[in-house]
Structure 1
Amino acid sequence: MKGHVYKRGESWTFVVDIGRDSSGKRIQKSKGGFKRKKDAETALRKILTEIDENKYIESSKEVFSSFITDWFYNHYKNRLRVTTASSREYMVSSHFIKNNPFADKPLNTITSLNIDLFLNQKLEQGLSTNYIRKMHQLLYQAFNQAIKWKKLSVNPVQDSDPPSVVKRDINIWSYSEIHIFLNECKNDRNYIVFLLAIYTGMRRGEILGLKWSDLDFNKKVIHVSRSLSYIPNGGYVITNLKTRSSNRKIPITEEVINELVKVKKQQEELKNKLGEAFGNNDLVVCTEFGHVQDPRNILRTMKRYIKLSNVTPIRFHDIRHTHASILISSGVDIVKIADRLGHSNPKTTFETYAHLLPHVYNDVAEAFENELKKNQ
C-alpha cells in the first residue's frame, strides 16, 4: 500500500510513499492536522494521483533568487552569444534578484499574481514595454526549466499578462533635409557613417563593425555579417550577427562606392604615416589610429550637425526608417525592403511601416466597382 491515514489525538494524518532514495530506502511524506478522516483521505488521493501521473513535486524551501542564479549561470548563460548573455545577466542581477518583491519567496509559492505585480512595477519605473516583455519571456524560460527539474508542477508565468508593446513614433527626414544634413557634414571624417546609414539602411553597429573585406566593389555589394557591440567589463567588440536574415548582401550605388574609395585612400595615407601605430583591424569606420569607433562619438557628431543644419532632430535609428520610407514611397516591394533591412519576416517590415502605405488601398473601392460593372 502506498499510503494510509490514521488518527492522531483529535486530528487525522496521512502517510504516503513518494519514492526511494539512492540507497533504495523508502521515502515517506506525512501531513496531519485534518479535522476529518475524509479530508485526510482526499489529500492522500490527490498526492497518489500526482505520483501515478508523474506530476508530484516535493515541496522545497528554495527561494527564487537562489534558483534563478543557479539556472542562469549554470545552465542558461553558456548557451547564449556573448552580447546576449551580457544583457540578460544585467536583467537577472538588476531586476530579478534586486528590486524584485518575490526574490526571497520560496519558488513553489510564486503565483501569476506575483508575476503580474512585478511586471506592473517595472512599467511604473519607466522601463520600455519591449524590455518588460523580454523579462516576461526570460521568466517563462526559467520557470519552465524548474518544471523539467521537478521543482514545480505549474509555470506561474503561463497565466501572467505582459504589457503590449508600445511602439515609438517614427521620425524621418524629408528629401531636402537629407541633402542639407549630408552637405553640412560632408568634410567630417565620419561622413561615411551617415552616408551608409542613409543609402543602405544599415544599423549603427553594422556600419561600425563593417570591414573592407566585406565590400565587393566590382559587384557593388556590401556583405553584412558582423556588428560592433558593447559588453560590460569587456568594452566594444566585433561580433557575428544573431540571425540568418541579418546576414545579408546590400547592393550599393556608384556614389557610395566612390565615397568608400576616398575613405580607403585616406586610411592608406594614415597607415603610411603612422606605420605600426595604426591598428590593423581592417575597419571601414575607425579612429585616426585604426581602432573601433565609439558609437557615442557618432551620436555626438550627429547631434552637432543636426543643430548646424537645422534639420528635424531624429535618432540614428530613424535614419534607417528614413531609408525604408523612401523605398516604400518609390514603390519597392515590401519583401525586397525586408531583405535589405535584414528583417526575418516581411510582416515585421509591413507592421513597422504600414502607416506609410496608404496609397496601397486608395484604388480598392474603384477596382471592386469596375470589376462588378464588367460582369453585369
Structure 2
Amino acid sequence: MPKRDKNIKEITLKSGAKRYKYNTYIGLDPVTRKRAFANGTFRTYNEAKQSYDEVRAKGTKNYVKPKQKTVDDIYKVWFPAYQQTVKESTANKTKINYKVHIKPWFKNDYIDKINPIKFQKWVNELYKDLVKYKEVINRFGQIYDYASSLGYCERIYNPVNAVIIPKKTKRHRRNIKDNFYTLEQLQAFLKVAKKQNYRSYTYFLLLATTGLRKSEALALKWSDIDWDAGTVSVTKTLAVGIDNKLIVQTPKSLTSDRPIPLSKNMITVLKKYREKQNKIYSIIFHGFSDNYVNLSKPDRWLTAIYNADKSLKKITIHGFRHTYATLNKDQERTDVEAVMGHNSLEMTEHYTHATASGMERIRDNVNELDIK
C-alpha cells in the first residue's frame, strides 16, 4: 500500500463517517501581501490528495477561495438593495454606469483580488472620459464595502483608497459663463419662437419667467395651476427610471416642492395655449394621447427655433433658468432662490418661512420686465 501524504488528515464526523482534509500554506497573497492558506474536506483520500497537489502547484496566483466572488457576483446582490435607498432615476443612472464603465473592466475579477495597477488605469481612463468620474469610482467603493460586509474581502484593502484619484476632470467642460439671455436677447428669441410653434413658445416663456427646471415644466398638469392665486405648484418632476423608462417622481429636493408666481402675461399665454388645444388634456406639455413627452423633446423644440433664425444667440435649456436668475438679480437673493427651489439648509429654512410679499416682489419684477 503506497505511503499516504502526511498533510492529508483523516477525521471522523459525529455520524461516524470518515473524511479527509488539509490546510496548507500556499504563499503570500499578491494583493494583500498576507500569508495565504488553502483548505478543503473530501469524502476520499484520493480526492483530497488530488486537490492538495493542485493548489500547491498553483500557489496564490490561481487559487480560488471557497467564498470567493467576482465583482459581478457582488453587484447582482448589492444593486437590488441599493435600489431601495435612492430615487429610481438615480438607480437607473447607477445601473448604466456599472454596465458601461465598471463591468467591462472588472466583471470577472475576484472582489478580493482587484489589481491596484489595473484599478489605477481604470481611474485614469474615467478621468479622461467623464466629467463626473468620481461618482463612478465611489459606486465601485460602495460595491467593495458591501462585499466586505458579507465577508468576501477586507474593507481596509478597498482599491478606491489605494490609488491616486485626480481632483479635477481632464475632459473639457462646456463654458456656461455666458449661458443666459439678456432681456433684449430673450425677447428676440421669444418673438421667433412664437411664430415657429406656440407650444414651444409657451414652454420657453414659462422657463424664463419662473426659473423652472426642464423636467419640472414637462411634468406639470393643468391642475397644478391656481388661476385665482396666479401660481403654479411644482410637486413632481419627469425623470428616466430603470431600463430608461419615463417616470414621474418627487422633485429634486425638499425646496424643489414649491409654489411659483406667474406673471400676468404668462397666465394669458397659458390660457391661450390651452384654447388652442383640440381637446382637454391633463398634461400641459402633452404628447398625442395625453402622455408625457420625452425629456429630449425640448431640445428638439429649441433646435427648431434656432434653425428658424440663425442670428439668435444659442444657449442651453438650462440657460433659461440662468436667465431667470439674471433678470431677477436685483431682487432679494433668498426670495429668488426660494422660487427657484435651490437646495441648501439656509434655503430650506427660508422657504419654510417664505412670505407672500416675497413672492409678490418677484412677480412684480417679472411683470415690469414685460417678457412676451
State the TM-score bracket (shorter-chain normalisation): 0.5 to 0.7
Compute the displacement of 1:185 (Å).
1.5
- Structure 2 CA distance for aligned equivalents of residues 285 and 214 of structure 1: 13
Compute the displacement of 1:30 (Å).
4.4
Q: Where does 1:246-265 land on structure 2 (aligned, <5 Å)?
A: 246-265=256-275
Identify unmatched segments of 5+ residues in structure 2: 8-20, 29-33, 37-64, 348-372
Compute the displacement of 1:284 (Å).
1.3
2:88 touches 2:242 (CA, 8 Å); kept in 1?
Answer: no
Does structure 1 residue 103 correspond to structure 2 residue 107? yes
* 1:111-162, Cα deviation, whole Å (9 max, x unpaired): 55543321211233x32x22x1220221122122122222222222234425
* 1:301-326, Cα deviation, whole Å (9 max, x unpaired): 21221233421111111111121222
Find the counterpart in structure 2 of residue 63 from structure 1.
70
Given residue 216 of structure 2, which amino acid in structure 1 is its aligned partner?
Answer: E
Find the counterpart in structure 1 of residue 161 from structure 2.
158
- Structure 1 CA distance for aligned equivalents of residues 166 and 66 of structure 2: 28
- Structure 2 CA distance for aligned equivalents of residues 61 and 116 of structure 1: 22
Alignment TM-score, normalising by the size of structure 1: 0.67
- Structure 1 CA distance for aligned equivalents of residues 150 and 202 of structure 2: 52
Find the counterpart in structure 2 of residue 308 from structure 1.
308
Does structure 1 residue 81 correspond to structure 2 residue 113? no
Closer, same or farther: CA 43–134 of 1 in aligned 2, 3 Å: closer
SS in structure 1 of the partner of residue 232 of structure 2: strand
* 1:272-297, Cα deviation, whole Å (9 max, x unpaired): xxxxxx7x5x1111135433223433
2:209 touches 2:324 (CA, 8 Å); kept in 1?
Answer: yes
Q: Where does 1:11-160 land on structure 2 (aligned, <5 Å)?
A: 30-31=24-25, 60-73=67-80, 75-98=81-104, 100=105, 102-110=106-114, 113-124=117-128, 126-127=129-130, 129-130=131-132, 132-153=133-154, 154=156, 155-160=158-163
- Structure 1 CA distance for aligned equivalents of residues 27 and 298 of structure 2: 69
- Structure 2 CA distance for aligned equivalents of residues 257 and 263 of structure 1: 10
Find the counterpart in structure 1 of residue 359 from structure 2.
none
Compute the displacement of 1:219 (Å).
2.0
SS in structure 2 of the partner of residue 229 of structure 1: strand
- Structure 1 CA distance for aligned equivalents of residues 186 and 162 of structure 2: 47
Find the counterpart in structure 2 of residue 189 from structure 1.
198
Given residue 222 of structure 1, which amino acid in structure 2 is its aligned partner?
Answer: V
- Structure 1 CA distance for aligned equivalents of residues 140 and 264 of structure 2: 49
Q: Kindly, what percent of the aligned residue pairs are identical?
A: 21
* 1:209-230, Cα deviation, whole Å (9 max, x unpaired): 0111212222222211112223
- Structure 2 CA distance for aligned equivalents of residues 139 and 31 of structure 1: 31
Does structure 1 residue 173 correspond to structure 2 residue 184? no
Compute the displacement of 1:206 (Å).
0.8
Compute the displacement of 1:95 (Å).
1.8
* 1:317-373, Cα deviation, whole Å (9 max, x unpaired): 111112122222x2431x33332222212899xxxxxxxxxxxxxxxxxxxxxxxxx
Given residue 317 of structure 1, which amino acid in structure 2 is its aligned partner?
Answer: H
2:216 touches 2:238 (CA, 8 Å); kept in 1?
Answer: yes
Closer, same or farther: CA 133–339 of 1 in aligned 2, 3 Å: farther
1:60 touches 1:108 (CA, 8 Å); kept in 2?
Answer: no
Closer, same or farther: CA 337–151 of 1 in aligned 2, 3 Å: farther
Given residue 193 of structure 2, which amino acid in structure 1 is its aligned partner?
Answer: C
Flag as ranges the 4+ runs of structure 1 deviating above 6 A. none
Find the counterpart in structure 1 of residue 49 from structure 2.
none
* 1:78-127, Cα deviation, whole Å (9 max, x unpaired): 333322222221111222112x1x33222112255543321211233x32
Given residue 87 of structure 1, which amino acid in structure 2 is its aligned partner?
Answer: K
- Structure 2 CA distance for aligned equivalents of residues 346 and 308 of structure 1: 43
1:204 touches 1:317 (CA, 8 Å); kept in 2?
Answer: yes
* 1:64-87, Cα deviation, whole Å (9 max, x unpaired): 2222222224x2223333222222
Q: Where does 1:326-337 land on structure 2 (aligned, <5 Å)?
A: 326-328=327-329, 330-333=330-333, 335-337=334-336
Does structure 1 residue 213 correspond to structure 2 residue 261? no
Closer, same or farther: CA 264–327 of 1 in aligned 2, 3 Å: same
* 1:168-204, Cα deviation, whole Å (9 max, x unpaired): 3212222211001111112423211001111111111
Identify unmatched segments of 5+ residues in structure 1: 1-7, 14-26, 35-41, 45-57, 272-277, 349-376
SS in structure 2 of the partner of residue 186 of structure 1: helix
Closer, same or farther: CA 33–69 of 1 in aligned 2, 3 Å: closer
Closer, same or farther: CA 167–118 of 1 in aligned 2, 3 Å: same
- Structure 2 CA distance for aligned equivalents of residues 32 and 86 of structure 1: 42
Higher relative contact order (CA 8 A, sep 6+): 2
The Cα RMSD (Å) is 3.3
